[in-house]
Amino acid sequence: MKGTIRFLVLLHVLIGTVECSIEPEEGQCRSDADCTEEECCVGLDRRRFIFSHATTGTCRSLRYQGFSCHVFLSTNPGNSNLHVTYCPCAEGLECRGTSVDKLNASHIIHHDPKCLPKE
């Protein structure tokens, strides 16, 4: 049993190493640097969380003024260079609700968040 687990762990590490050393295919990216200035690298990983460590994504357009957005947009847990779901707002813009309710110091609700000029 221990031998099987060790083998599986070693196999997982080897596959991860090979995956990281291969150049991304055309249309794929590993970070925003692989995309144009108007794009970011988005990893749309739909695997189970335990295996959710996408190493590549696709270049997608940044969010522009008036586009819907996610105030607490995050990066992929397996590759912090990949955005999750979609790109952040373009330069000079920020994601905030068209109205904001501040319940207390740790609970803020952004209603209908959009990319808006920074205040």
Q: Give residue 86's pLDDT.
A: 87
Where are the extended beta strands (E) located within 5-105?
28-29, 39-43, 57-61, 75-76, 79-84, 93-104
Q: Where are the domains of the chain?
A: 2-91
Global confidence as pTM: 0.66
At residue 64 the predicted structure's pLDDT band, cuts being 50, 70 and 90, is very high
Residue 65 and residue 116 in contact, taking contact as beta carbons nearer than 8 Å: yes
pLDDT tens digit string along 11-33?
A: 454 455 444 445 555 678 999 99
User: CATH classification of 2-91, choosing from 1.10.15, 3.40.190, 1.10.3470, 2.10.80?
Assistant: 2.10.80
Residue 95 and residue 73 in contact, taking contact as beta carbons nearer than 8 Å: yes
Q: How far is it, in rounded angstroms, from Cα 61 to Cα 69? A: 13
